[in-house]
Amino acid sequence: MATSSSAMPTIDAETFYALSTRVEELSNRVQTLEGRGGQCQPDAMQAIADPFSTDRIDQVLKVTQSLFSGPVTTHMMSDPSEPQYPWMVFRVEQDMEYEEFRETMDRWYDRVAPSWPDDPTVYSLMVDPVR
């Protein structure tokens, strides 16, 4: 049975290349999963999907403790009008000069923000001065 060329959809080369690249990426992911016997580690997947997982919080705590010598506490917060958008506050006590404090705080954000790139505001730092 013959078909006319007008019945076949056409796409431009750029779209074709993008789709081909995506198909190749997905094929590689499938091969990787099949190589593991189709088994995913649920805890690892949860850590990826949840910024408040124990593993993720432990990572941020380690960064915080490496930069600030004082005690570190954590607590969850949210705006009462938007409770679906919580964030985790890492509270530290620190005795340092202002310039050192600013540099240390900047280093904290530089190291923590990439751990949750979808929303870097999911973690917040609060520093209480100790004098």
Sequence ranges of the domains in the chain: 14-43, 50-129
Q: Is the pLDDT score of 29 beyond 70?
A: no
**Of 119 and 109, which is predicted with more confidence?**
109
Of 130 and 84, which is predicted with more confidence? Answer: 84
Question: Is the CA virtual torsion 29, 26, 39, 51 positive or negative?
Answer: positive
% of the chain beyond a pLDDT of 90: 28
Task: Give the mean pLDDT of 67-77.
Answer: 91
Q: Which of the following CATH numbers is that of domain 50-129: 3.30.70.1350, 3.40.980.10, 3.40.50.300, 4.10.520.10?
A: 3.30.70.1350
Which structure tokens are listed for 21?
Answer: 């690249």
Rounded mean pLDDT of the chain?
Answer: 77
Centre a 10 Å sphere on the Cβ of residue 91 and count the other Cβ atoms it contains.
17
Position 116 scores a pLDDT of 72
Residue among 81, 91, 78 at smallest CA distance from 122: 78
Query: Is the pLDDT at 18 greater than 70, yes or no?
Result: no
CB atoms closer than 10 angstroms to residue 103 = 13
Give the per-residue pLDDT at 130. Answer: 77
Residue 63 has pLDDT above 80, yes or no: yes
Q: CA torsion 107→111→117→119, rounded to 10°?
A: -50
Residue 66 has pLDDT above 90, yes or no: yes
Helix or strand holding residue 62 (H, E) = helix 54-67
CB 127 within 8 A of CB 101: yes
